[in-house]
Structure 1
Amino acid sequence: MNSLVIYGATGYVGRLVAQLAVRRGLRPVLAGRDLRRLAALRIDAPVRAASLADPAALDRLLVDASVLLNAAGPFAETQRPLLDACLRTGTHYLDLSGEAAEFLDVRGRDDELVRAGVMAMPGVGFGVVPTDAVAVHLAGRLPLARRLELSFVTSGQVSRGTLGTLLAGLGEPGVQRRDGRLVPVRAGAAQRGIPADGRTVRVVTNPWRADVVSAGQSTGIPDVSTFFAVPAPLRLALRVAPAAPWLLTSPAGRRLRAALLRRIPEGPTPAQLDAGRSLVHGLATDDAGTVVEAVLTGPDPYRYSAYTAVELLARTAAGTVRPGYRTPAQVHGPDVALTTPGTVLRDLR
């Protein structure tokens, strides 16, 4: 029971992960729903097809696997059937999701996971690895922290899948963590200024980010707020969507969204990946008013995701597991975020 499986290897990030895993010598099985597309990858690794609608096929795929990495979005559709198969076969589960709802689904299955001896770790890419690391780092510096703010800023080309997930979620309710509970919060409800590259960047509430779940799990800090930097047109969309959700959910709105996505490239080119950058800012405070602050800078989020996913795939296969729902920094510590080349974590105060 020693094979590694990457499901969704034909997607944009899935290909980046598969290529890097093979270069690192992990020799994964590349899996997905379409055998022809898998064979066309021309990556030096075995390929196998299995439909998400066929539990027996998924079980055959995983029967001799020690760990599965799910890189196939949308995760709201792929997460459950693949996690079900992992529970049936005793396979540890990783994925690249990054939405709070997806993490809550996994967390809700913690008892099942522990009984099966299976670890489930969603968000092993940019989804939460850097923010989880910053959260755990700050909690270590301020053990009685009461409030935590996590923000991210990225530059570079967005992929079709990422934009599709964001547009689909605009009309959905979001949450933040207050007194240890998740409470409804509107997108863009608050804004902050954070330091980034020698300037102040405005960030607004992002109520869908999985950080509100993962940081609570990793640190126990009762209040967690999440923010992101977005272009002005998207800030307008964040304000309009809750008041007019039919713009997104109506047939006409869905057709407009599909037409927009068709015009978006599948993902960044190699040159755009080289040029892209990411920044995660964290600020924690306690009831005495003590403040600690840190910033993590790194490469393009898609490249970051590939490196951290392969790193965590390798560590999980090597036996670094704790059965149940787990977060990256909870199991591996904050330094796991620094395994990606070009990543730096530094304290601001």
Structure 2
Amino acid sequence: MGSSDPLLIYGATGYTGRLLARAAKSRGLRPVLCGRDEVRLAPFATDLGLEYRVARLDARLEEALRGIRVVLHAAGPFSSTCSPMVSACLRAGVHYLDLSGEVAAMEGVRQSDAQARERHVMLMPGVGFDVVPSDCLALHVARRGRGARRLAIGISGLEGISRGSFRTVAEGVGQTVSIRRRGELRGIPPGTLVRAFDYGQGPRPSIAVSWGDVCTAYYSTGIPDITVFCEAIPSFQMMLMANRCFGGMLATEAGHVWLEALARVMPQGPTEAQRAAGHGIIVAEAEDERGHCFQSRLRTPEVYTFTCTTGLAIVERVLAGDLEVGFQTPARVYGPDFILAFEGVSLEDLSAPEVSVNGHTWAAGPAGN
């Protein structure tokens, strides 16, 4: 077995963790694979010819970071897992990256900004599909229209989710949807905000959701009002209805036991063929105080495949010393054009759209450059 790179992938036996490990090896990287279940971890690492370390997310986690410069944290739900990993990275002086798209978890990471600067450590959550493409697109539209006060982001291409993503969604059952207004986070009832986005085949209804850009886009662009929407595909509408009708019950201990049992019988995630055929679409719209809108649309490869691509590209940047210490966002450090360097990505600037919010439609304002 060859020597390992100073990169540790935590959560390497999960669906996304396995994709990351294989993709890392194909890029010529030799990460150390880490997780808490040696029974699953050891044979997977051995098959790839990679080093592995067994560690739980507790006070001894720091021992697993010996000789490591960068951690790519892929074990969710991040609301439970990121705090102990961030703490261990700060103690060990290790740069922290994760795949979170959870607003509360990202804001929690930001609370360690001052300590990270003291330790000369970068903390960058959201280096996968959540939120690299949307963060870059948000900064792109913000720069198209200077002085933007409102940002709306629409996301399509989430038809297939992994067990881990389902568990993250299940954690949010019974909770409010996070949006940002006047720079502050607010919670609104699920289903309160509905509007249309054109993902390339005409306007499609989309529903406001808690998504990482409510955190990261604010720090990348400075725009004080931010809402993120997802296309209202049937499975998403069913989850929303269940949340409305049974959210209180599902949020109980018995409800979480039932949701966990449901997660265990789900497929681990999209198949290789499904990933090859899929793609993501993101639309970002910035509006200034005069009502002028600047809208752009980004197309990417399938979300799990692209998560590996962007996550490992940022890993390579950090290993090469291309980083800024403290809490950071992808677009702020690497710029809005970072996303355009990847194969299968295309960007289109759009004219001023007609906007439909909760059944009302109007012209959003003249287009501008």
1:163 aligned partner:
166
Query: Distance in 2 between the 1:49 and 1:173 partners?
Result: 36
Once the two structures are superposed, residues 189-240 of structure 1 have per-residue CA deviations (whole angstroms, 9 ceiling, x without a partner) of 111111123222110111x211111000000011111111133464354255
2:145 aligned partner:
142
**Which of 333, 342, 345 is residue 343 of structure 1 equivalent to?**
345
1:174 aligned partner:
177
Query: Distance in 2 between the 1:278 and 1:115 partners?
Result: 38
Shift of 1:102: 0.5
**Which of 41, 48, 51 is residue 53 of structure 2 equivalent to?**
48
Alignment TM-score, normalising by the size of structure 1: 0.94
Query: Distance in 2 between the 1:262 and 1:243 partners?
Result: 23
Say whether the 8 Å CA contact 1:2–1:317 is kept in structure 2. no
User: Within 5 A, what are the aligned runs for 1:172-251?
Assistant: 172-206=175-209, 208-232=210-234, 234-235=236-237, 237-238=239-240, 241=243, 244-251=246-253
Equivalent residue letter for 2:37 = D
Say whether the 8 Å CA contact 2:150–2:225 is kept in structure 1. yes
Say whether the 8 Å CA contact 1:3–1:65 is kept in structure 2. yes
Name the count of aligned residue pairs: 346
Once the two structures are superposed, residues 234-265 of structure 1 have per-residue CA deviations (whole angstroms, 9 ceiling, x without a partner) of 43542553565332123442233223222210
Name the SS of the counterpart of 2:157 in structure 1. Answer: strand
Equivalent residue letter for 2:6 = S
1:113 aligned partner:
116
Say whether the 8 Å CA contact 1:156–1:276 is kept in structure 2. no
Structure 2, unmatched stretches of 5+, are 352-369
Structure 1, unmatched stretches of 5+, are none
Alignment TM-score, normalising by the size of structure 2: 0.89
Are positions 1:122 and 2:120 aligned together? Answer: no
After superposition, the Cα gap between the structure-2 partners of 1:116 and 1:2, relative to the gap in structure 1 and judged at 3 Å, is: farther
Once the two structures are superposed, residues 139-179 of structure 1 have per-residue CA deviations (whole angstroms, 9 ceiling, x without a partner) of 11112111110110115422111122112212122321111
Query: Distance in 1 between the 2:344 and 2:193 partners?
Result: 31
Shift of 1:115: 1.2
Query: Distance in 2 between the 1:279 and 1:165 partners?
Result: 21
Query: Distance in 2 between the 1:122 and 1:180 partners?
Result: 19
Query: Distance in 2 between the 1:180 and 1:280 partners?
Result: 23
Name the SS of the counterpart of 2:148 in structure 1. Answer: coil
After superposition, the Cα gap between the structure-2 partners of 1:239 and 1:155, relative to the gap in structure 1 and judged at 3 Å, is: closer
Deviation beyond 6 Å, 4+ runs, structure 1: none
Say whether the 8 Å CA contact 2:173–2:251 is kept in structure 1. no
